[in-house]
Amino acid sequence: MHQTIRSSFAGLLDLLFPLACLACAAEGAWLCTACENGIPAILANHCPFCEAKTPFGNACPGCRPRHALDGAISCIPYAHPTVQSLIHAWKYNGVSEVTVHLARFVERSLVKARRAALAAAKQSLESGMSAQGLRRLSAAPPLLAGVDVLLQPIPLHPKREKERGFNQALLLARELAGTGTNRAMGKLLARVKKTSAQAKLSGVDRSTNMAGAFALVASEYRRAAGKHVVVVDDVITTGRTMEEAARLLKNAGAASVWGLTVAYGHPVHA
């Protein structure tokens, strides 16, 4: 009912106030084609926990033994004004229609990352690197390697999802699942604790805030066993949310857990 009212109201607003690009104000869409294609893929090449440089956003050797999350693919700094406007409209103004624009951008970024992974592997082979050395270098995430993955959106607390009208991570994951033959949707986690906004907290408080936020879904979690799981969200900041999800998924037997986000950085309202 809540979503129906929201949709009807949005339709009325569209009639009274035509859609305008959030980047250039051209009428016709929330993001015009030129502005969408103009968003650069600036993929994170650092550890999600300490920001040490790594090939694809992998957890660095120092952090890896202490964390469940294997790494995070993230497509652009949150500071990019167009992306910032899109995410803000998405999360705080109820504009679910921007999902398709963000999904296309993420897909384009994954293509770029996949090409980089293939180029690195080719260069290693041509340089005569041993198979063992190649395996060490080829730390490419399963999502880029073309193997089957389960996409698990970060769940919202039911109260917050009702207020927003949708879970933006779920919408994004569904769009991405429909564009790759090796991607399936997972419903392995549920939100069982309403948390405070992470961006307003210190590092220690962020960990405390997220502790116990999720639970495995009893009827679904066995699907994680032996699978490569990709946790989908809008923004990654310190990695605490992703880490809490990854910890549970690894306990459920996941072979690997990677994050996938539109942006990385420190949004005001994350």
Tell me: the pLDDT tens digits for 223-248?
999 999 999 999 999 999 999 999 99
* Count of domains forming the chain: 1
For residue 157, being part of any structural domain is answered with: yes
Domain that includes residue 183, residue range: 34-114+141-264
Query: Which pLDDT tens digit goes with each residue over 51-110?
Result: 999 989 999 999 999 999 999 999 999 999 999 999 999 999 999 999 999 999 999 999
Tell me the C-alpha distance between 201 and 29, whole Å.
35
CATH of residue 212's domain is 3.40.50
Residue 35, helix vs strand vs coil: helix
Determine the pLDDT at residue 264. Answer: 97
Helices (H), 127-217: 131-137, 142-145, 158-164, 168-177, 203-210
Task: Check residue 268 and give its pLDDT.
Answer: 46
Q: Is residue 23 included in any domain, yes or no?
A: no
Q: Flag whether 189 is in a domain.
A: yes
99 belongs to a structural domain: yes
Q: Answer yes or no: is 119 within a domain.
A: no
pTM for this predicted structure: 0.87
Domain assignment of residue 18, yes or no: no
43, 73, 119, 146 from 122: Cα distances, Å: 20, 21, 5, 16
Strands, sheet with 228-236, edge to edge from the N-terminal-most edge strand? 71-77, 256-264, 228-236, 149-153, 183-185
Whether residue 13 lies inside any domain: the answer is no
Domain assignment present for 121: no
